[in-house]
Amino acid sequence: MDGLFIFKDKKYIDQVTGTSTLSLLAKKDDFEIMLYEIKADRPNSITPGDFPDLMEFYYIVEGALEINDGDNVVKLCKGDYFYVSNIKETVPVRALEDTKMLYVSSKPVYNLLYTYTGELKNLLEKSEQKDTYTHNHSNRVQNLSVKIAEKLGLSSEINYTIALASLFHDIGKFFIPNEILNKPAKLSEEEFNYIKMHSYYSYDLLKGKFTDDDIAQIVEQHHERLDGSGYPKGLKGDEIRIEARIIGVADSYDAMTSDRAYRKAMTPLEAIEELKSLAGKTYDADVVLALEQVLKDESVI
Ligand SMILES: [Fe+2]
Ligand SMILES: [Fe+2]
């Protein structure tokens, strides 16, 4: 029938998956209806839009979440809803369980918000495929980084930034030749200098892709070390953002506990002992302690 549109069996107009999944269900002129799925315990947020008069409506179809209204944390369950119009600040949202929301926007936000995340996600997958030893590395580093940030009691806004920065931290490896990434021997100085470029490439890929450039800056710093021995800039102590110090520890832990072309994996306990021996020198001592606590909570060590 003319004018009737039916979609069955999870066929959507379009869908992108980043730290969350957004499916475009229907679109007419500026108006969009989407399904927004967020995973339990993953920090998310609703950010002020680029359009004046933007109205965004969210109806919880499944799951439960907490939303911070500035003064209080409010728990919302299936059947509850909220909407935002002309917000000035980011509203932190945290799913208590895997949550699905019907998301209606009065302006076209689907592409603006998520094309970048979708494209970046594709590039990230390609980067990970290049390096045979880092399968799922980004997801594991993201998982640990978010847990460390929570253990340290950082704000959910910072947690959201960390979730994105940690996921994309090595995306710049896409531009590093496979022979260098997978070389089964110690790298020459020249080859190592090549590897070091990935921090900058990651920065460059992420710059301008999100509403703030914090994510790009954090990613650029993920190999900086407290004593200035890191790269690319040799930053020291507080010059390195806390988010980057967290990702640096999670990243090193994951590298130590994974098999590499040139060495076997360490056990979690060996890795945490190694990190503790370097705490305060190259790694942030509070961050290392938080990681140890996370691993103990999960009975990994
Ligand atoms: Fe890296
Ligand atoms: Fe990494």
| pLDDT tens digits, 74-132 | 999 999 999 999 888 778 888 999 999 999 999 878 766 665 667 787 888 888 888 77
pLDDT score recorded for residue 112: 64
Instruction: Indicate if 182 and 293 belong to the same structural domain.
Output: yes
The answer as to whether 5 is a domain residue is: no
Q: How far is the CA of 153 from the centre of ligand 1 (A)?
A: 25
Q: What is the pLDDT of residues 50-85, one digit of tens each?
A: 677 889 999 999 999 999 887 889 999 999 999 999
In 3D space, the residue among 217, 243, 240, 238 whose CA is nearest the CA of residue 230 turns out to be 240
Amino acid at 20: S
pLDDT score recorded for residue 113: 67
Q: How far is the CA of 216 from the centre of ligand 2 (A)?
A: 15
Q: Which residues contact 65 (CB under 8 A, 6 or more apart)?
A: 38, 75, 76, 93, 94, 95, 96, 99
3-state helix, strand, coil in the chain (%, to 5): 40, 20, 40
The answer as to whether 20 is a domain residue is: yes
Instruction: Indicate if 174 and 271 belong to the same structural domain.
Output: yes
In 3D space, the residue among 246, 258, 230 whose CA is nearest the CA of residue 291 turns out to be 246
Which of the residues in the chain have pLDDT under 70? 18-19, 43, 49-50, 111-117, 133, 211
Instruction: Indicate if 236 and 96 belong to the same structural domain.
Output: no
CATH number at residue 219: 1.10.3210.10
The answer as to whether 225 is a domain residue is: yes
The backbone torsions φ and ψ at residue 260, rounded to the nearest 5 degrees and listed phi first, read -125, 165
pLDDT score recorded for residue 20: 77
Assess contact for 230 and 220: CB atoms under 8 A.
Answer: no
Q: How far is the CA of 251 from the centre of ligand 2 (A)?
A: 5
pTM above 0.85, yes or no: no
Last residue of a domain, one of 56, 88, 108: 108
In 3D space, the residue among 56, 49, 38 whose CA is nearest the CA of residue 103 turns out to be 56
pLDDT score recorded for residue 245: 98
pLDDT score recorded for residue 270: 97
Tell me the residue range of the domain where 18 lies.
14-108
Cis peptide bond N-terminal to 232, omega within 30: yes
Q: How far is the CA of 86 from the centre of ligand 2 (A)?
A: 38
pLDDT score recorded for residue 153: 92
CATH number at residue 92: 2.60.120.10
Last residue of a domain, one of 55, 89, 108: 108
Instruction: Indicate if 91 and 125 belong to the same structural domain.
Output: no
Domain count, the chain: 2
pLDDT score recorded for residue 210: 74
Which stretch of DSSP H or E encloses residue 73?
A: strand 73-77
**Nearest ligand to residue 137 Cα:** 2
**Nearest ligand to residue 195 Cα:** 1
Assess contact for 266 and 274: CB atoms under 8 A.
Answer: yes
Q: How far is the CA of 170 from the centre of ligand 2 (A)?
A: 5
**Nearest ligand to residue 141 Cα:** 2
pLDDT score recorded for residue 18: 63
pLDDT score recorded for residue 126: 85
CA-to-CA distance for 185 and 121, rounded, in angstroms? 30
